[in-house]
Chains A and B, each alone.
Chain A
Amino acid sequence: MTEETTPTDLDLVRGIKAGDERAFEEMVERYHARVYSLSYGVLRNAEDAEEATQDTFLTLYRKIGTFDESRKFFSWFYRVALNQAYSRARRRPRPTVAIEDYMPKFDGTGHFTSPEAPDWAPGVEDEAAARELAARAEQFIAELPPAYRDVIWMKDVEEIPGVEIAETLEISIPAFKSRLHRARLYVRQRLAAISRAPAKEEAAG
């Protein structure tokens, strides 16, 4: 490795397979933040996310020999990271919401049943209010069933391309889009509710 050329993921994979410690260090440098953030998305806890990140790289180190180089590295590695996080998450199962309860409602002719469409947009223009909403949105995402939670976290927070997410989660592109849209509709609905009636939400929460 030289400073002039940036090795590809595959270069690093081959280096690690050959026992090149610098290749492993570079891989850690390249991916540790993403793995941590991905783990955090599942576990919602900094300490757990850090431990899951360590386990993910240990698995990478030990199992890199099983990686099929005809596949894309990121999808294999994200899958390793998710599996580590899922394994920890199972030790502390959390209740999840019924997403159907938060979908927009329509009447038999396809019109909104609510007399007024939610309009919480003005509040987002204020920086402090926007940050507060973002913090609440994170809580709402945490309550989603994992199939939705992971998709919206990876796409809208991590900003991982949809194709990569579908490959990592081993789902079709239409399934990815469907889950993403429904997860967004859910978060939008929850944010709209607290923006319309903050006092009521606070009292409930």
Chain B
Amino acid sequence: MNHSGGGPGCPPNPQPELTCERLVLDKLLEFEEGAMPEAERAQFRHHLELCPPCLRFLDSYRKTGRTLRMLKPKDIPPALAKTVLSFVRARSGKKER
């Protein structure tokens, strides 16, 4: 995982200013939101093409998001709306409808 001098897992990167650290910590969210300028986006993609660890990291980051979305919806107690109305009315002096 070395862009400038050669190392395991990641070949030399022609644009060494975008390190794995910057990509993961500073740029990943912007890239995923689609808010990144195209030139920077191209540089980001180029890094991914050359860097399997970052590509795997991106994949697992996306799968984290998909995993979290499986938590929705929470099981809402079926009579919650009625319970809330009864609770509020009991404490505000209103009669049940």
Q: Which residues of A contact B (CB under 8 A)?
A: 21, 24-25, 28-29, 32-33, 36-37, 40, 46, 50, 53-54, 57-58, 61-62, 103-104, 106, 109-112, 115-121, 124, 130-131, 133-134, 137-138, 141, 152, 156-159, 177, 180-181, 184-185, 187-188, 191-192
B24 CB-CB contact with A under 8 Å: yes
Chain A, interface SS category: helix
Chain A nearest Cβ from B55, distance in angstroms: 9
A103 to B67, CA, bound (A): 19
- Contact A117-B22, Cβ < 8 Å, known A32-B76, A58-B88, A61-B92: no
Contact A57–B20 (Cβ < 8 Å): no
Cβ-defined contact, A104 with B57, below 8 A: yes
Scan B1-40; emit 1 where CB is below 8 A from any A CB, else 0. Answer: 1111001111000000001111011001100000000000
Q: Are B72 and A159 in contact (CB under 8 A)?
A: yes
B81 near A28: Cβ-Cβ < 8 Å: yes
Asked if residues A137 and B71 are in contact (CB atoms below 8 Å), the reply is: yes
Tell me the bound Cα distance from A91 to B52 in angstroms. 47
- Contacts between chains A and B (CB distance < 8 A), count: 148
Q: For the complex of A and B, list the 10 residue pairs with the smallest distance between their C-beta atoms, beginning with the closest.
A: A110-B19, A117-B53, A110-B21, A106-B21, A156-B68, A134-B70, A54-B87, A188-B64, A111-B1, A181-B29
A36 to B78, CA, bound (A): 12
B21, B22, B52, B64 interface centre (most CB from chain A within 10 Å): B64
The listed residue with most B CB atoms (<10 A of its CB), out of A62, A112, A188, A191, is: A112
B60 near A112: Cβ-Cβ < 8 Å:
no
14 sampled A-B residue pairs with Cβ under 8 A:
A24-B88, A32-B76, A32-B84, A37-B72, A46-B77, A57-B87, A103-B25, A110-B21, A117-B53, A117-B56, A120-B60, A121-B59, A137-B68, A184-B29
